[in-house]
Structure 1
Amino acid sequence: MKSLGGVVLALMLAFCSGSLRAEPITAAEITVVDGDTIDARGQRYRMIGYDTPEVATPRRKVGSDERAVALLAKERLAELLHSGALDLAEVPCSCSKSALSKGTCNHGRKCAILSLDGKNVGATLISEELAVPYVCSATRCPPMPNWQRILEQQMKAH
Structure 2
Amino acid sequence: MFVRSVLLLLMLASTAWAEPVSVNDIRVKDGDTIYYKDVEYRMVGYDTPEIQTRRRKVGPDERAVASIATERFAELLKSGPLDLTEVECACSAKARREGTCNYGRKCGLLTLNGKNIGDTLIAEELAVPFRCSLSRCEKMPDWPKIIEGWNTK
Both proteins in one fold, TM over 0.5: yes
Normalised TM-score (structure 1): 0.90
Which residue matches 1:47? 43
Which residue matches 1:34? 30
Shift of 1:8: 9.9
Deviations 1:53-111 (A, max 9, x none): 00001110000000000000100010011110000000000011110110111011000
Please tell me the root mean square deviation across aligned C-alpha atoms, in Å: 1.9
Q: Quick check: 1:9–1:49 contact (8 Å CA) kept in 2?
A: no
Q: Quick check: 1:12–1:49 contact (8 Å CA) kept in 2?
A: no
SS of 1:111's equivalent in the other structure is: strand
Which residue matches 1:18? 13
Identical positions, percent: 55
Match of 2:106 among 105, 110, 115: 110
Q: Quick check: 2:46–2:130 contact (8 Å CA) kept in 1?
A: yes
Q: Distance in 2 between matches of 1:23 and 1:75?
A: 24
Which residue matches 2:84? 88
Runs of 4+ residues deviating >2 angstroms = 7-21
Normalised TM-score (structure 2): 0.92
**Which stretches in structure 2 are left out of the alignment for 5+ residues?**
none
**Which stretches in structure 1 are left out of the alignment for 5+ residues?**
none
Shift of 1:41: 1.6
Which residue matches 1:100? 96
